[in-house]
A = this chain, B = another copy of it.
Amino acid sequence: MLLKRTHTCGELTKEHVGQAVALNGWVDAWRDFGGLVFIDIRDRYGVTQVVFEPEAGAELQAQARELRNEYVVGIRGTVAARLPGKENPKLKTGAVEVRAVELVVYNASPTPPFEINGPEPNEELRLKYRFLDLRRPELQRVFILRHEIGQLMRKVMTDMNFLEVETPVLGRSTPEGARDFLVPSRVHPSHYYALPQSPQLYKQLLMVSGFDRYFQIARCFRDEDLRATRQPEFTQLDVEMSFVEDYDVMTMMETLVAAMAKQFGGEELKLPLYRIEYHDAMERFGNDRPDLRYALELKDVADIAEETEFRVFQQAKEAGYRIRGICAPGGGQAYSRKDLDGLTEFAGSFGAKGLVWLKVEAETFAGPTAKFFKPEVQAKLRERFDAKAGDLILIVADTQAVTSQSLTNLRSRLAAELKLYDPKTFHYSWVIHFPLLAWDAEEGRYAAEHHPFTMPMVEDLHLLDTDPAKVRAQAYDLVINGEEAGGGTIRVHDPVIQSKIFALLGLSPEEAEEKFGFLLSALRNGAPPHGGIALGYDRLVMLYAGLTNIRDCIAFPKTAKGTDLMTGAPGTVAPRQLKELHIRPALD
């Protein structure tokens, strides 16, 4: 029998004293004081204390004594003020308790494999008993936030006249990009659907159809090896617009970003957001998604290095290497000799063969290589880095790639260790004008930096024929705290340019027609200029929830091996099922 609840467990306050109420929920804690039995009862909305007094009768008290954590119960009783001194100001319901007159146990529970309110259990156990793991208040909070982010996205997009259109999950395999999940067809032997890596082509077709403004909170799939920040299925806010240039898409999305920043970051953003050219981001931060909560800019010091006697620098010059560095405020004081060995090792893990460190002191530099830096050279370095006594200058002489990777990682490590920023703040920026193509030496052809449908910058169009690697794309990434929160491009709407790009990517006209014929046909039939973006929904939840593991942001996630430890998916199936799909295992 159901004791229909009159209130949730997060609702009762002094205003309700004297009312007859009914609550439903889980036993969160119990205390048997002989004369009095106390039960905390919990639901999604909160926790309420229930007391079984002697006046309620021996039978009811005996029943209450049988309760254990995680039993599911219904309780009827009267709201009463707690005794003075027994109030719990941390709880919304902490001023009251319910004096029980009736108790119904809906379901019992053995002692759970981990405490719902205890320390975080190991992840394997959490995933196996996900239905218990999700009872933990930390996770309940994440999925309430996830819901709110989704609803806000939909509201803002709808208010801006975007239509949510659902695109197919059962699509066609496009071998560009990541590996596809395949679905064998029962009706068409030897034919396979593919799960979408993104709704990219469908959303472009919707623009050709004149939908003008499209969005979808879309499930996407990539059959790739997983890491802590990746899942085989993930969700993105997918957006496409017609008759726009790159700045229009960015401006439009900033409305959403500002709404999110306000609701979930408690911050009034100043728009437009900071925009940085890809080339500048690589030069100043060694990274195309720089964390701009702190400065710590990379500086080229090759010209100054030339004035030293330091052989490492001379060799670097001969090798055509770059010589770049950063200067960490307070790092000279903070890091011991041993710490600096650790930083050198850390830089080495990104390929740096050495790390030159200089502790900036009032008058001079300290460190094993300081002797190579004459006073006038030291002065120039001080000036380049705006260095003050107590700072730490770190210099790497190596290739473009190694200097970028080692210094950008040093940069984020030092910023965190030296507490150069408040980790609770958010910094939003756009990185723009990415290269269109990258030369793939192994395949002997160009590969698309974003995807093959990206429009070059108009002023670079002529370079498609002469120097494709120099062509910049109408591409933009939204970067939050050093994470790529989203990215987009203006698409090619001209079938001639699209064919030219397919050719650069090594597709013959026949292959292009076979793989992307429907797109080319759409472009030839009145395609408008269009572009769009996709934001990583899971990642936004992670950012605003202050988490670092994507699995905590997905209700039923999979392990790094793609297994659902709760249901056991993927599982074995009946031979009949494979036969119907015209496949059989090929094991070797």
A residues whose Cβ falls under 8 Å from a Cβ of B: 2, 4-5, 24-26, 42-45, 70-72, 74, 106-110, 112, 129-135, 140, 143-144, 146-147, 150-151, 154, 158, 163-173, 175, 179-195, 201-202, 205-206, 208-213, 219, 221, 223, 232-233, 235, 242-245, 248, 493-494, 518, 521-529, 554-556, 558, 561-564, 566-574, 577-587
Contact B570 A191 (CB under 8 A): yes
Whether the pair A493, B555 counts as a contact (CB closer than 8 A) is: no
| Contact A173 B573, beta carbon cutoff 8 Å | yes
Known A24-B242, A132-B525, A210-B135; contact A568-B172, beta-carbon cutoff 8 A: yes
Tell which of A110, A173, A244 has the most Cβ of chain B within 10 Å.
Answer: A173
> Is the CB–CB distance between B112 and A528 below 8 Å?
no
Given A151-B154, A170-B221, A573-B173, A243 and B527 contact (CB-CB distance below 8 Å): no
Besides the contacts A72-B528, A171-B564, what 17 more A-B pairs have beta carbons closer than 8 Å?
A2-B244, A42-B210, A43-B210, A106-B527, A132-B209, A134-B210, A140-B210, A144-B163, A165-B555, A168-B558, A187-B562, A188-B563, A188-B570, A189-B587, A191-B570, A193-B570, A518-B567
In the complex, chain B residues whose CB is within 8 Å of the CB of A71: 526
Docked Cα-Cα span, A164 to B155, in Å, equals 14
A574 to B511, CA, bound (A): 13
* Chain B residue, CB-CB nearest to A109: B526
Name the one of B131, B140, B193, B232 contacting A205, with C-beta atoms under 8 angstroms: B131
Complex interface: chain B residues within 8 A of A167 (CB)? 555-556
A183 touches B183 (CB 8 A): yes
A181 touches B182 (CB 8 A): no
The 5 tightest CB contacts between A and B, nearest first, are A134-B209, A172-B569, A109-B526, A191-B570, A185-B570
Q: Is the CB of B564 within 8 A of A493?
A: no
20 contacts between A and B (CB under 8 A): A24-B528, A107-B523, A131-B208, A132-B525, A134-B209, A134-B210, A143-B211, A168-B233, A172-B567, A172-B568, A172-B569, A173-B571, A173-B573, A180-B577, A182-B183, A186-B223, A189-B585, A191-B572, A518-B566, A584-B586
> In the bound complex, what is the Cα–Cα distance between A581 and B192 (angstroms)?
12
Distance in angstroms between the alpha carbons of A585 and B564 in the assembled complex = 27
Tell me, rounded to whole Å, the shortest Cβ–Cβ distance linking A224 to chain B: 10
* B contact residues around A211 at 8 Å (CB): 44, 134, 140, 143
Report how far A562 CA is from B168 CA in the complex, Å: 12
A183-B183, A573-B173, A586-B579 in contact; A526/B107 too (CB < 8 A)? Answer: yes
Residues of chain B contacted by A180 (CB below 8 angstroms): 573, 577
Bound form: Cα–Cα A481–B387 in Å: 78
Q: How many copies does the complex hold?
A: 2
Contact A205 B130 (CB under 8 A): yes
Cα A186 to Cα B180 with chains together (Å): 10
Q: Which residues of B contact A5 (CB under 8 A)?
A: 243
Residues in B neighbouring A191, C-beta threshold 8 A: 570-572
- A192 partner, pick from B242, B525, B573, beta carbons under 8 A: B573
| Distance, CA A188 to CA B558, complexed state (A) | 13
Contact indicator A184/B186 (Cβ below 8 Å): no
Q: A183-B181, A210-B140 are in contact. Are A2 and B529 (CB under 8 A)?
A: yes
* Cα-based distance from A126 to B85 in the complex (angstroms): 74
Bound together, the chains give a CA A201 to CA B555 distance in angstroms of: 13
Report chain B residues within 8 Å CB of A233: 168-170
List chain B residues, Cβ under 8 A from A163: 143-144, 147
Closest chain-B Cβ to A442's Cβ sits at a distance in Å of 16
Cα-based distance from A233 to B167 in the complex (angstroms): 10
- Using CB atoms, name the residue of chain B closest to A130: B205
Residues of B contacting A556 in the complex (Cβ-Cβ under 8 angstroms)? 167-168, 202, 205
Instruction: Provide the residues of chain B in CB contact with A183, threshold 8 Å.
Output: 181-183, 195, 570
Smallest CB–CB gap between A565 and chain B, Å?
Answer: 9
How far is B179's CA from A154's CA once the two chains are assembled, in angstroms?
Answer: 33
Q: B110, B526, B581: which contacts A525 (Cβ < 8 A)?
A: B110
- CA gap between A209 and B352 in the complex, in Å: 49
Contact A570 B524 (CB under 8 A): no
Q: Are B209 and A587 in touch, CB under 8 angstroms?
A: no
Q: Is the CB of B527 within 8 A of A107?
A: yes
Inter-chain contact B526/A72, CB cutoff 8 Å: yes
Name the B residues within 8 Å of A165 (CB-CB): 143, 146-147, 555
A127 to chain B, nearest CB (A): 11
Q: Closest Cβ of chain B: how far from A315's Cβ, in Å?
A: 44
Contacts of A571 in B (CB 8 A): 172-173, 191-192
Q: Which of A140, A192, A202, A566 has the most CB of B within 10 A?
A: A192
- Minimal Cβ-Cβ distance residue in B for A563: B188
**A151-B164, A525-B70, A586-B578 are contacts. A555–B172 as well, Cβ < 8 Å?**
no
- Compute how far the CA of A219 lies from the CA of B171 in the bound complex, rounded to whole angstroms: 14
Interchain CB contact (< 8 A) of A151 among B158, B188, B572: B158
Return the contact of A135 from the options B209, B574, B581 (Cβ within 8 A): B209
Q: For A195, what are the chain B residues with a Cβ–Cβ distance below 8 Å?
A: 169, 183
Let me know if B526 and A190 touch, CB within 8 A. Answer: no
Q: Contact check, B586 vs A583: say whether CB atoms are below 8 A apart.
A: yes
Contact A182–B573 (Cβ < 8 Å): yes
B residues within 8 A CB of A210? Answer: 25-26, 42-44, 134-135, 140
